[in-house]
A and B are shown apart, each in its own frame.
Chain A
Amino acid sequence: MVGLLGPNGSGKSTIIRGLLGLAALQRGSIELFGVERRMFEAWHRVGYVPQRQSVAGGIPSTVREVVSSGLLTRVRPFRWAGAADREAVVRAIESVGLGDHVRAPMATLSGGQQRRVLIARAMASSPDLLVLDEPTAGVDRRNQVALAASLADLAGQGTTIVLITHELGPAELLVTRTVVLRAGKVVHDGPAGDAPDEHDDDWHHHHGDPPPRRSGLGLEGIGW
């Protein structure tokens, strides 16, 4: 699991938008699974959880309907969803702990639950790479912990997870590699634990020193 860290405006989202084809590259290149992005077609191997909190649109939709739209990279048009597809959808919903809410309308869920639905949507196609953009902004502590548990399961199954955040939280213990961005440049790339503290302006001076171990799950407060 990779943590992509950096303050607001440091270029985290831009990298991801380039990776996913949401933004054009000015220079450089991006490869997905060894394939140049523009030639890349195996989109079912990539799951993306956008930063947006909820699913927009005024029309009611159920958890199952939203998660099903994550399967479309695998199924063909003009074909009804098969039993295997429906099973994959339910499995994805269960894996984020919302098994009791399969038929629930999105509007009845809390912000944290809606976020987990979007994660289930990204997981429906059983991706090998899961990209989450600020998955915990505005999510309460209990849901953050539930989310971290879902991610741990996935990582255990061999999924590569890229977590974009400006602050780590309960998922911190899961991160094995940290990439820190500042003003568009990679200022740190290495095993987790070496990562500088984002809130320490002088972090680069004591870079290399054993960082103060943050309390992880014990932290109180807002965000991560």
Chain B
Amino acid sequence: MLQYAFMRRALLAALLVGMTAPSVGVYLVQRRLSLIGDGLGHVALTGVAVGLVTSTTPVLTALLAAVIGAVAVELIRVRGRTSGDTALAVLFYGGIAGGVVIVSQAPPGTTVNLDAYLFGAITTTTAGDLRVFAALSLAVLAVTLGLGRYLFAVSNDEEHALASGLPVLRLNLVLAVVTSVTVVVSMRVVGLLLISALMVIPIATAQLVTHSFRATVVMATVLGTVASVVGVGTSFYADTPSGGTIVLIAIAAFVVTTTAVAARDGLRRSAPPADASG
């Protein structure tokens, strides 16, 4: 499959998403904001629609929309009277509604295939997209690695972070922005409706077997990367939408790990008392 240029691009895009999504998602899961990525995916859809209607590159308009949405939801959560949950709901439905309405205004003759944006497709990544994705992924990884300890402190205990004089609002905004950037990097191969899965499921799988935050991040990143790359490969041979395939592989890993851990714990419990001290 590597003889096809579109497959090489899709695999590279998958590699970038697989690495970035879990490294951002770990802080979202820690803050119990697992669904924020999904909300931002919906908002990015409005951006895609604007791009399609105005014949601008959808990746850039989606990026703009997602970043604005992310900053808005964070500010509403902190400053407004609306709870994070409600703010998220507005984001979800506003994003989808905006996307559908704006796309309907596309000039006659434009073929609009929203499915590819929503669920991912391997043939859609352009060379230009790939350059943008590479730059964005590097930026995201620079933030998650460089500010990792700060993001950990804030998502682990926001009150203590505030009392330590850390710039909590700014850190939360940074996290919101890198989340939306990750959503956009994913829009070609994973799709805007499925990206959140890649931010959450590898974390859920990793934390079943790890004991430290760092190990969780490393293992989730490996899991995310493997799921993305294998998913894109499977999608090529099985002729399935890449996003759905990637997510199903990630979920399979989660189910297998859960079962294995449950079986191990079951064995330990039925083991002789000599094992009880461990």
Residue of A nearest to B34 (CB): A58
- Is B218's CB within 8 Å of the partner chain A? no
A22 vs B158: C-alpha distance when bound (angstroms): 10
B149 and A69 within 8 A (CB): yes
- Is A183's CB within 8 Å of the partner chain B? no
Interfacial residues of chain B within 127-158, with CB under 8 A of chain A in the complex: 146-147, 149-150, 152-153, 155-157
Residues of B within 8 A of A55 (CB): 156-157
B159 and A50 within 8 A (CB): yes
Q: Show the binding face of A for B, using Cβ within 8 Å.
A: 20-22, 40-41, 43, 46, 48, 50, 52, 55-62, 65-66, 68-70, 72-73, 75, 77-78, 81, 103, 105, 118, 121
Closest Cβ–Cβ distance, residue B78 to chain A (whole Å): 13
Residues of A within 8 A of B146 (CB): 77-78
B155 and A57 within 8 A (CB): yes
B152 and A105 within 8 A (CB): no
A68 vs B146: C-alpha distance when bound (angstroms): 15
Q: Which of B152, B157, B215 contacts A50 (CB 8 A)?
A: B157
B166 and A59 within 8 A (CB): no
Residues of B within 8 A of A48 (CB): 160, 163-164
- Given A22-B159, A61-B213, A43 and B207 contact (CB-CB distance below 8 Å): no
Q: Show the binding face of B for A, using Cβ within 8 Å.
A: 26, 29-32, 146-147, 149-150, 152-153, 155-157, 159-166, 203, 207, 210-216
A76 vs B99: C-alpha distance when bound (angstroms): 41
- Given A57-B30, A60-B216, A105 and B156 contact (CB-CB distance below 8 Å): no
Residues of A within 8 A of B30 (CB): 57-59
Q: Which of A21, A60, A68 contacts B165 (CB 8 A)?
A: A21
A60 and B163 within 8 A (CB): no
A43 vs B164: C-alpha distance when bound (angstroms): 6
A20 and B162 within 8 A (CB): yes
Knowing that A50-B160, A59-B29, A68-B149 are A-B contacts, what are 10 other residue pairs whose CB atoms are under 8 Å apart, sorted by A's residue number? A21-B163, A58-B207, A59-B216, A61-B156, A65-B214, A72-B166, A73-B164, A73-B165, A103-B212, A105-B211
Closest Cβ–Cβ distance, residue B26 to chain A (whole Å): 6
Q: Which of A22, A40, A41, A56 contacts B156 (CB 8 A)?
A: A56
A212 vs B11: C-alpha distance when bound (angstroms): 77
A77 and B147 within 8 A (CB): yes
Residues of B within 8 A of A56 (CB): 156-157
Residues of B within 8 A of A60 (CB): 207, 210-213, 215-216
Chain A CB count within 10 A is highest, among B156, B160, B211, for B160
Jot down 25 A-B pairs with beta carbons below 8 A, ordered by A.
A20-B163, A40-B165, A43-B165, A50-B157, A50-B160, A57-B30, A57-B32, A58-B32, A59-B29, A60-B215, A60-B216, A62-B212, A65-B152, A65-B212, A65-B214, A69-B149, A69-B153, A69-B161, A72-B150, A72-B153, A72-B164, A73-B164, A73-B166, A75-B149, A77-B147
Residues of A within 8 A of B156 (CB): 55-57, 61, 66, 69
Which 8 A-B residue pairs are closest in the complex by CB-CB distance?
A: A43-B165, A69-B153, A20-B163, A78-B146, A105-B211, A48-B163, A61-B213, A57-B30
A78 vs B146: C-alpha distance when bound (angstroms): 4
Closest Cβ–Cβ distance, residue B172 to chain A (whole Å): 15
A58 vs B33: C-alpha distance when bound (angstroms): 12
Residues of A within 8 A of B166 (CB): 72-73
Residues of A within 8 A of B216 (CB): 59-60
A68 vs B29: C-alpha distance when bound (angstroms): 20
Q: Which of B32, B147, B159, B162 contacts A78 (CB 8 A)?
A: B147
A77 and B150 within 8 A (CB): yes
A46 vs B164: C-alpha distance when bound (angstroms): 7
A121 vs B214: C-alpha distance when bound (angstroms): 18
A55 vs B51: C-alpha distance when bound (angstroms): 44
Residues of A within 8 A of B150 (CB): 72, 77
Residues of B within 8 A of A121 (CB): 160
B164 and A70 within 8 A (CB): yes
A105 and B212 within 8 A (CB): yes
A65 vs B212: C-alpha distance when bound (angstroms): 8
Residues of B within 8 A of A41 (CB): 165
Closest Cβ–Cβ distance, residue A103 to chain B (whole Å): 8
Residue of A nearest to B217 (CB): A59
Q: Which of A69, A73, A103, A118 contacts B152 (CB 8 A)?
A: A69
Closest Cβ–Cβ distance, residue A39 to chain B (whole Å): 12
A61 vs B152: C-alpha distance when bound (angstroms): 10
